[in-house]
Amino acid sequence: MRTIAVIARKGGSGKTTLAVHLALAAHLRGRPALIADTDAQRSSSQVLRGRTEVGPAWVETSGPKLFALQLSALREGVNTLVVDTPAAIEEEISHAIVAADLCLLVIRPTFLDLAAAIQTAEIVRRLRKPALIVVNQAPVARNGVEPPAVKRALQALLLMRLPVIPIILRARAGYQSALERGRSVEEMEPSAEAAREIAELWTFVETFVFGRDAAQAVR
């Protein structure tokens, strides 16, 4: 089993959207998945509670309970545990980082998101945990050219000394429309650009945490 902690200290960064889509991506590819919703708002739970199809399991919990949850999930055959963390609560985030095989720092291309992520990046480095940055809700590139805000953000992210996933998630209405139905964009519009983004992102993350051979084995 692998644990992926999805982290954003700035509210509204799309953390829950990403956490749910990752869990659904794992589920759709045959990996038994579980979301640990440690955010007091319980947004991940609300999304999956409204799902009518079979999907990933979910549990409302807290950071200090993650270790026990991991043991229980492992016994129950869970393959992928996704932790949806709360924004700005350092202690809860630290528990998730300790429990994680991979930390995903979700950042919009804005100054405030970048500033909020610096402290999290320091915690990740101090705890010596693998971490990747996901750029989320970015304006759509035009003719292959990134908007100035995205270019500035990518340059600033170099200062964090953490790898940035090359797949950028764009600001697309399809993400929220899918969540309103407890589904992913891959299920709602398989041929849409949002579905392609999630599929490519999941492939990148899956290969990182499971290894290339293990990732290919479930296909």
- Taking each continuous run of H as one helix and of E as one strand, the counts in the chain are 10, 6
- 219 pLDDT more than 80: no
DSSP state of 65: G
List, for residues 23-33, the tens digit of each pLDDT value.
Answer: 999 999 999 99
- 218 pLDDT more than 80: no
Residue 159 confidence (pLDDT): 82
- For the chain, list the domains and their CATH numbers: 2-210 (3.40.50.300)
**Alpha-carbon radius of gyration of the chain:** 16
Rounded to the nearest angstrom, the gap between the alpha carbon of residue 11 and the centroid of all alpha carbons in its chain is 14
CB contact at 8 A, 5 and 123 = no
To 5 degrees, how large is the angle CA 156–CA 100–CA 97?
55
**b/e per residue, 106-115, with b = 16+ CB within 10 A?**
bbbbbeebbe
Q: Mean pLDDT over all residues of the chain?
A: 93
List, for residues 20-78, the tens digit of each pLDDT value.
Answer: 999 999 999 999 999 999 999 999 999 999 999 999 999 999 999 999 999 999 999 99
Q: Are strands 57-60 and 102-107 parallel, antiparallel or unpaired?
A: unpaired
The pLDDT of 8-24, averaged and rounded, is 94
CB contact at 8 A, 2 and 34 = no
List, for residues 72-96, the tens digit of each pLDDT value.
Answer: 999 999 999 999 999 877 788 999 9
- 215 pLDDT more than 90: no
Confidence category of residue 104, pLDDT binned at 50, 70, 90: very high
The pLDDT of 183-187, averaged and rounded, is 97
The answer, as to whether pTM is greater than 0.85, is yes
The pLDDT of 120-140, averaged and rounded, is 94
